[in-house]
Amino acid sequence: MNPLFESPRLRLAPPDPETDAAIESAWTHDGAYLRLVDTAPARPLSPSQVKKKYEQLEKEKEKDFYFAVRLREKPVEGPEGLGRLIGFVRLFWVDWMHGAARLNLGIGAPADRGQGYGSEALELILRYAFEEMGLHRVAAEAAAYNTGALRFLERHGFRVEARRRQAVARDGQRWDQVMYGLLRSEWEALRAAAAVPAGLAAPQSNGAQGG
Amino acid sequence: MRSQLGDLNLYRGELVRLAAMDPEQDADAFARWSHDSEYRRLLDSDPARPERAAPIKADMEKRAERGDDNGFGVHTLADDTLIGFVGLWIASWTSAEAFVGIGLGDRAYWGRGYGTDAMRLALRFAFNELNLRRVSLEAFSYNTRAIRSYEKAGFRREGTQREWARRDGRRWDVVSMGILREEWERASV
């Protein structure tokens, strides 16, 4: 089995209040980041408020799977360290009975964006959602002004399921909230298509399975 | 009483009125309704579970104490029977949006316009008192009677969350609906 928490460059780990709170606090002083990451009123948080948030998440961990996204270190020798915090990824509102959850993801510092870390973290969390948690579907949402997020979700196979008209007010305007969904079957098909060279993808290919 | 406000009695419709939840009086009815599994499975995605009145009463008391709860009992005008509830949950004050939930536990009043009337009252309260800009709801695709009622009250379909629910071994969509303040104003003149 492939490791669940590591990709070539990233690692999913629990947040560490001692080292992470100050970094996440710095992200929340960037209003632009907060207005892309969700639709709650943007509000800067002190490190101690971030710590409280981590404690709250710990209490709700049956329904809220929150991971710190860390850059993997290349150890010179000895065990690999935890690595620098660059973002978070989260499956929340987990409904075990129906097999559904909602996704949120953010890369905190502007310097860390645009390098494919979001895609890499998304691949990890989707595999975790479908193969570890056994979910049937994962939903995500983005305000219509957040064109980067809309493109990101569509590029990774999420389908538009609903447009909640004028559900977000910002800068004196009202914006639709676009609701996305990805089913397990769709994710499996995307994965199979990505893993198999095009010439072998035909259904009648005789036993050409990955090994 | 006279004033320059329009309809002062926000809580009175054609068939029903909205009233404060009364833990003493109302918990028994809610417990009785929870023994109707069909009602519970139309209502929401929680596991249908028959409940005793005591925990329901405790929950109602907690809500009443908070003081910011927009949940109401739905009573008939004819004889003041409690037949269900309707509640608004403020999703965001900055975006001025609430989600609405409604349930008629008493089957004798299904399909007769009582739910639509209660929903109209909830919308009037949402737009004229809470000053919201948008009210949203979600419904199971199998709950066709409710969806018709919501459309009658002015909601529009905005999409479906595919295969969200699993019940009786099948997958069901969840329908997203919404009504904007302007739409409601146009419909209510």
| pLDDT tens digits, B124-150 | 999 999 999 999 999 999 999 999 999
Q: What is the pLDDT of residue A206?
A: 43
Residues from chain A that touch B176, judged by Cβ atoms under 8 A, are 161-162, 164, 179
Beta-ladder partners of A92: A102
| CA distance linking residue B114 with residue B123, whole number of Å | 14
Residues from chain A that touch B133, judged by Cβ atoms under 8 A, are 166, 169, 174
- How much of chain B exceeds pLDDT 90, in percent? 89
Give the pLDDT band of residue A186 (cuts 50, 70, 90): very high
Tens of pLDDT, residue by residue over A20-38, are 999 999 999 999 999 999 8
DSSP characters for B15-43? SEEEE---HHHHHHHHHHHHT-HHHHHHH
Asked whether the beta carbons of residue A100 and residue B134 sit closer than 8 angstroms, the reply is no
Domains of chain B: 16-188 (3.40.630.30)
Domains of chain A: 10-193 (3.40.630.30)
Enumerate helices (H) and strands (E) in chain B, giving the number of each: 6, 7
Least CB-CB distance to B158: which of A95, A100, A164?
A164
Query: Is some CB atom of chain B closer than 8 A to the CB atom of A172?
Result: no
Nearest CA in chain A to B134: A167
pLDDT at residue A128 tops 90: yes
pLDDT at residue A130 tops 50: yes
pLDDT at residue A48 tops 60: yes
Least CB-CB distance to B92: which of A39, A160, A162?
A39
Nearest CA in chain A to B179: A165
Cβ partners under 8 Å of residue B186, min gap 6: none
Q: What distance in Å separates residue B78's CA from the closest CA in chain A?
A: 37
Angle B23-34/B53-66 helices, nearest 10 degrees?
130
Nearest CA in chain A to B177: A164
pLDDT at residue A210 tops 50: no
Angle A117-127/A147-155 helices, nearest 10 degrees?
50
pLDDT at residue B1 tops 60: no
pLDDT at residue A199 tops 80: no
Given the structure tokens 């850059």, which residue do they identify? A71
Residues from chain B that touch A168, judged by Cβ atoms under 8 A, are 95
